[in-house]
Amino acid sequence: MTANPLAVRSTPIPGVLVIDLTVHGDNRGWFKENWQREKMLELGLPDFGPVQNNISFNDEVGVTRGIHAEPWDKYVSVATGRVFGAWVDLREGETFGTVFTHEIGPDTAVFVPAGVGNSYQTLEPQTAYTYLVNDHWSPEAQYTFLNLADETVAITWPIPLDQAILSDKDRAHPRLGSVIPFVSIDDADSCCGEQCHCSDQTHDEEGPTRVLVTGANGQLGRELMRQLPAAGFEAIGVDLPDVNIADMNTLAEIDWSAIDVVINAAAWTNVDGAETSEGRPQSWMANAVGPANLSRICSLFGILLIHVSSEYTFDGTQSPHREDEAPSPLGVYGQSKVGGDTAVSACPFHYIVRTSWVVGDGKNFVKTMAQLADKGVEPSVVADQVGRLTFTTDLAAGIIHLINCEEAEFGTYNLSNEGPEMSWADVARRVFELRGKNADSVTSITTDEYFAGKDVAPRPLKSLLDLSKIESTGFIPATAEERLVEYVASLA
């Protein structure tokens, strides 16, 4: 076997490179250096820093996979067999939709930048397709897909697709006209790394990071509008009736090119109202359609999206709730929040902040109990629902921490105040004490007893959130007791 010299060649798709590998063979078989960083960098291959090596083994001829564009770079080759490779540029820009095809054997490799759709079809049985990637696989990663049979890119597959072996998922991918182009943030060379979302003001020479807050008139929204400017951000607050996130026509009037971060604090929070025929569509529009609209826009413009979720996405049978717990909502409100969370998770750069029992500037349980204590009312309060309070002081501070923290990987984070779990009755008794009243004025009652004969939404009984993930990033919220004392004192 004659060994060809190592070489790197360009293709019609910018950044996609073909690597001719040197293969040494004799009667025993062959040997090659499949990846040789020093030599390949010298020939012009990017120093993409692979961290994971994967192998896909294919038994039969005609196995066809793709077209998948991931948010990381790939170096693809085969260990045994041969494949027909096809690549489509799915990145935003002038070359969107450009196609390149090439046959890959043991003597060839292809470098595929993030955002370029990758696909292949096996030409020999028992083909081992291998690829290096420069980021660890994550179930929360954002992919861009294209249908293998798309008529616009018109890939000429050696084995017609109606005779090939495809997965149902690959058959269902969208055509090019429905594909949202992959949008990359700044290249790693001009920014701070793979997890960077360019929110640190040191990266913006034109001015402070611009943060759009939806639901700016709510408890959390008001606190964010106070804390963001103090932290050096330019805060832009919007809310109903001027801006409805469920209405794309309204959102189209916003100059998204001027926004760096979106914090979605807008929500329909009338848990019982969501169970009615009038409230059900409103809950879904605000909690699912609205976040889906923001996710699509932020994906298109490369904007960091932070979305506030709820412990109502769970049925309250586990404690504490971890970020990776499967959704199990009991009612319409929780179901609509799961819909919004799912839509937001498709945004390449996102944080879902799940919280519980929020207390801030506005109508809330603690303020109501303080008012009852002052009036001498002796309330009955449920004692079988347990969790932790979340004061907007710490919720807003934790969100700002995520924006600034380069070490915080994108995904879901639980965020409440710290301390032991309490029931609603425990909180009420503590409020009565802080107002100088007898805690025994609060009578414990079960959830079933409290709502007997009433048409209300089901409540999760256990709302305690595991905070270890966000605390591992360096953010330790104050205890609920500390904040409760401060808050009740402020009501005087």
One fold for 7-178 and 188-490? no
Inter-residue contact 237 to 221 (CB < 8 Å): yes
Inter-residue contact 360 to 437 (CB < 8 Å): no
pTM comes to 0.62
Out of 131, 333, 351, 487, which one is annotated catalytic? Answer: 131
Distance, in Å, from the CA atom of 351 to the CA atom of 305, rounded to the nearest integer, reads 6
Residue-wise pLDDT tens digits, 292-340:
999 999 998 889 999 999 999 999 999 999 999 999 999 999 999 999 9
Quote the pLDDT of residue 26. 81
Mean per-residue pLDDT, 395-416: 95
Percent of the chain residues topping a pLDDT of 70: 93
Look at the chain and count its residues. Answer: 492
Quote the pLDDT of residue 141. 63
**Pairs from 13-16 (Cβ < 8 Å, separation ≥ 24):** 13/87, 13/88, 13/89, 13/95, 13/98, 13/99, 13/100, 13/116, 14/89, 14/95, 14/113, 15/46, 15/111, 15/113, 15/116, 16/87, 16/89, 16/100, 16/110, 16/111, 16/112, 16/113, 16/116
Query: At the fourth CATH level, which superfamily is domain 7-178?
Result: Jelly Rolls (2.60.120.10)
Q: What is the CATH number of domain 188-490?
A: 3.40.50.720
- Mark whether 68 is an active-site residue: yes
Residue-wise pLDDT tens digits, 70-81:
889 999 999 999
Quote the pLDDT of residue 138. 66
pLDDT reading at 194 higher than 60: no
Quote the pLDDT of residue 4. 77
pLDDT reading at 464 higher than 90: yes
Out of 68, 197, 321, 350, which one is annotated catalytic? Answer: 68
Q: How far is CA 173 from the centre of its chain?
A: 21
Of the pLDDT bands very low, low, confident and very high (cuts 50, 70, 90), residue 2 is low
Inter-residue contact 126 to 57 (CB < 8 Å): yes
CA dist list (Å): 80 to 35, 105, 132, 240: 16, 8, 16, 60
- Domain ranges (residues) in the chain: 7-178, 188-490
Inter-residue contact 81 to 126 (CB < 8 Å): yes
